[in-house]
Amino acid sequence: MSLLFSSSLHFFPPSAFPTSLCYQLHHPFAAFSSSPPAAGTSLSPGFRHNFRTGPLYCSPSSSMSLEESTSTSQLEDSLLYSRAFWVSKHVIAWNVEVESGSCYLFASKMATLRVEDGVVEGYDVKIRLEKDRSQLPENVIKKFPHIQNYCPFTVPPASDVEALLKCQLAVATFNSYGECKNITCLQLPGVLDDLFSYEGPLGAIYSKEAVSLYLWAPTAQAVRAQIFRDPVGGMPFEVIPLEEVDGIWRTKGPKSWKGCYYEYEVTVYHPSTLQVEKCFTTDPYSRGVSSDGRRTLFVDLFSDDLIPKGWDKLADEKPPVDSFSDISIYELHVRDFSISDQSVHPDLRGGYMAFTLQDSAGINHLKKLSNAGLSHVHLLPTFQFGGVDDDKTKWKFVDTELLENLPPDSAEQQSLIADIQNSDGYNWGYNPIMWGVPKGSYASDSNGPCRLVEFRKMVQALNQIGLRVVLDVVYNHLHGHGPFDPNSVLDKIVPGYYLRRNTDGFIENSTCVNNTASEHFMVERMIVDDILHWVVDYKVDGFRFDLMGHLMKSTMLKAKDALRGLTKEKNGVDGSSIYIYGEGWDFGEVAKNGRGVNASQFNLFGTGIGSFNDRVRDAILGGSPFGHPLQQGFVTGLLLEPNDHDHGTHEVAESMLAVSKDHIEVAMAANLRDYILTNFEGKEVKGLEVLTHDRSPVAYASCPTETVNYVSAHDNETLFDIVSLKTPRNITVDDRCRINHLATSIIALSQGIPFFHCGDELLRSKSMDRDSYNSGDWFNRLDFTYMTNNWGVGLPLKEKNQYNWPLIKPRLADPSFKPSKSHILAAVENFTNLLQIRYSSPLFRLKTSNAIQKRVRFHNSGTSLIPGLIVMSIEDGHNGIPGLSQLDSTYSYIVVVVNARPTEISFPCPALRAKTLQLHPIQLMSTDPVVKNSTYEPSTGCFMVPPRTTSVFVEPRMHE
C-alpha cells in the first residue's frame, strides 16, 4: 500500500481514506469489522475460579444515553458493542453518567452473557464499580486521547482482575430504582498493558539440550502446542499443554523437535463472535513456516546449515555509508526484477536467487546503477503476505503469445489478467500475515528452511555488488482477523488487542483493513523486535515503513534507538548505519494525534527519521493522486504547453506554475522547515511559510535526511505514463522522454534523500495502470535488455482504471507515443549521469540544515521570475580563507539550471557574473547532443540552456 494515492494531510478530504494506501480496497472483507459481528458457536471448558452467581433484573425500559431511552431490543443488541474501556487495573472508562444510580461489571467464563427482556443473565460474577468524580488519570489520557472525556469507574482492589480478563465482560448502569440504563462490553488493551507488559523471551528459544516455547496470551483460558512432522496434513505426534505464568504460556521440549512444525491451539474468548473459541494458529514470533504459513517451523537461525559462506564477514564487507546524506534509493519488486528476464534460469525467475547471479541482464543493470553511485535497493514487501499461494503448482497463467498479438488499446488483455489475478504468482505484498518470515513464493521451496537461506544469499549478493538492502515493512495493518480466518494470527491469540478499534469496539480500517495499534505495549514491542530480527538475522540495511503515520512516534523512536544499540562486536551488525523512513501521511483515526502522537511528517521533526515528500512530486507532475488526471505541473506543461484541461485563466495558471516552483525549490533545499528563500511574490519566507492550497506548510524537516524526495513510486502511474497522460498529445515522444529526464534530474540533484522507482530510468510503462498491485506480470514487466518499456500492452485493469479509459485508449492506440530502444538507452545513460553528478561532489549531499542555508541559493525568484525556470547554486569555501569551510576538493561552485520550458532559455544572473563555470564534465561527455549546447558567459553571468533540459555547471578548483 503505500504511495498509490500517497499524499500528505493537505490532500486528504476529512472523511476520505486514501485509496493509495490500499490496493486491497476491493476485498469483500475490508469493511466487515466495521459492522456488528455474528455470533459463533463454540463454548469454553470449565473454569478453575469460583464466581458468585445470581440474577440481576433490569427494567425493560432502558436507556442507551443520557438524553434518550431505548427499546429492549436495542439494549439486548448492546453486547455487540464494546464501548467501555478497561484502562488500568482499577479503572474502567465509559462515556455514561450514573448520577444517583449504580454501575456493575459482569463476567462470564463460558461467554453466556445476554440481555433478555431487559434482564442481564448468564454471568458468573457481578462487581459494583464506584464512579470517580475526577478525570481519567493523565497517563491514561496520554495513551488513549480519544476517550479523554470518558468517566472513570473504580474496580474494587480485591477483584481478581487476572481471572476476570479471561472472561466475557460487560458493564451496565442502573438508576436508583434498579432499572438498567445501559450495557456494553469492554476493550481491554489498557489493563493488559498495565498488568502484563512483558520484555522476556517469546517464540521458540533454543539451547544445547532443548527448545522452549513462550507465548504472550494473558486472556487465553488454555493453550496447547500441536507438534507435526510434516508441513501439511497428518495428525500431531505430540500435543503439549502449556503452563501460564503472568500471562506467558510456556513449555519445554526436546531438541529433536528441530525440523518439525507446530501450531498453537488457543482457547480464548473472542469479541468478534461473543463466544469462547478454539483458535488454531502459528506462533506470532515464527522464524520459519510451512507453505502459506499454516504451521511454524522449528528452526534455529544460527544453525551452521543456514549460514551462507562468508556470512559472518558481511558486516565488514558492506558498501560504506559515511553519512545518511549519501544515500540514494531504488525501489524494486522481487518478482518484477527477474520474472521476464530470459537470461535467468526459469527455476530462479521471480525469486530471491535471481539476485545471486553474476551476469544476468537485471544484475548487469543493477551493477551499472551501483557503479554510478546508487547506494540502496528498496525491496517491496518480502515477509509472508497473502494474495499469492506459496505453492507454485497452484498458479494460473495467461498465454503471453496471445497477449502480445492483441492491439495496444484492447480491453482483452486486462480481462484475461483479471480472470486469474487472484490465482497467479503476482502481488505487491502489502497484506501481511507474518512479519518475521520471508515470503515463501519467492523461494525455491516454500517448506523447510530454504526461504531463510535464499533470503540471506540475496542480501549478501546485493551487498557484494555495492548495494545495501532496504525492506518495505507493513506494520500498520494485518491481512486477517477473527478466530477462523486462516490469515489471522495475532487476533486469534489475544483477541481485541493487536488491532485498533473504534469507540464502538469494531476494528479500524482506515489503512484498508485491520489497523494495528502500536500504542499498545506488546504491539510496539513486537514491531521493534521484528526490526531487530531482520537486521541481526538477515543483515538488512534499512526499513521503509508503509503508512508510518498510523504508527506512534514513540514506536519509531524506540525502533531507531534499538537499532543504534547494535554493534558489530556484539550483534554482528552496525546499527548506526541503518536508515529508516516511511509514509508520514496523517489521516484516519490517528489524524491530529487522535490516538497519541503519531509518526506523521510534522511530528517527526528533529528525529532524523525520513518521510516521503509528496509536495515535490505533486509540484513537478501537477495536481495530486486525488486531482484531475490531466492537471499539469512544473515539467508537464503547466502554462507553457497546456493540454486540454481547463487550468483557469492565464493569470491563474501563471500563479500555479510560480507556486509549484516555490514548492520544488523548498524540496531542493531538503524541505527544511527553517530554510529561507525568496518566494514568487518577492518575499523572504521560511520553508514552513510556503503553503499548500489548503494552507498547510510545505516544509517539515529539521535536517536533510528527514526528507525523501521522489517523483514516482510503485503506486500511481509510472513516471513515463503520467508524463504521457498530462502532456499535450501533439508533442513528440522525444519531448516526453526529455520531460521524464527532467523530472528525475530534479530529484537526483536535490538536497535530502533521492528516491527512484525501478524503471524511472527505463521509461517504464505499465500501460498507464494507476494501481498495478495485482495486475500480474504482464502489466508490471521490466525489460533490462532495453528493447521495450512495456508501453501499449492493452488497457489497464478495469477495476482501478476504467474511469480513465477514455483518456488512456487514444494514447495507447497512437504508435507515436511508444519509445524506441534508442530512447530507453538514452534514458538509462541520462539517469546514470545524474547519479554520477550527484556523487561527484559532496555539495549535492550536504549533511546539515545550517550547511544548506549557508550554501544553497535560488536565483530566478521574486515577481520578475521567468516561468518554468529554476536556477540553484551551491557554494563551497576555500582552505585558508575565512567564511565557508571547504568540502569539495574538485569544485568550488555549482549551478544547476532546470529549464522546463519548451524553448531555449537565456538567463542573465548578475550574482553569478565572472565565475569560471563550465558544463559538468559528465554532461560534456554525454551522448545527449542537446545538453552539450548549454553555455555560460562569465562577463554577463548569462546561462543558455536548451528546452526541457537540466544543465549542471561547475567551477573547477584548478581555476583558483
Catalytic residues: 546, 583
Per DSSP bridges, beta strands 383-385 and 432-438 are antiparallel
What's the grid cell of residue 865? 521570475
Round the CA-based radius of gyration of the chain to a whole number and report it.
30
Q: Is the dihedral of CA 661, 663, 665, 668 positive or negative?
A: negative
Contact 496, 188 (CB under 8 A): yes
Give 283-286's long-range contacts (Cβ < 8 A, gap of 24+): 283/203, 283/204, 283/213, 283/215, 284/202, 284/203, 284/215, 284/434, 284/489, 284/490, 284/493, 284/526, 285/202, 285/203, 285/204, 285/436, 285/526, 285/529, 286/203, 286/434, 286/436, 286/437
Alpha-carbon span 597 to 143, nearest angstrom: 9
> DSSP per residue over 379-410, as a string?
EP--EEESSS-S-GGG-----HHHHHTS-TT-
Residue 163, class by beta-carbon neighbours within 10 Å (0-12 exposed, 13-18 middle, 19+ buried)? middle
Neighbours of 97 (CB within 10 A): 14
Instruction: Give the residue ranges of DSSP H helices in 37-150.
Output: 72-77, 138-143
Alpha-carbon span 540 to 468, nearest angstrom: 7
Q: How many CA atoms lie within 13 A of 550 on its CB side?
A: 31
Instruction: Give the residue ranges of DSSP H helices in 218-281.
Output: none
Question: Is 816 strand, coil or helix?
Answer: helix
Closest CA relative to residue 281, chosen from 273, 268, 272 = 268
Cβ contacts of residue 197 below 8 Å, gap of 6+?
521, 522
Length of the chain: 960
Contact 61, 179 (CB under 8 A): yes
Cβ contacts of residue 565 below 8 Å, gap of 6+?
575
Closest CA relative to residue 707, chosen from 649, 664, 653, 657 = 664
Q: How far is CA 357 from CA 253, 306, 353, in A?
A: 40, 19, 7
What's the grid cell of residue 102? 449504580
Cβ contacts of residue 519 below 8 Å, gap of 6+?
143, 144, 500, 552, 595, 596
What's the grid cell of residue 15? 472523511
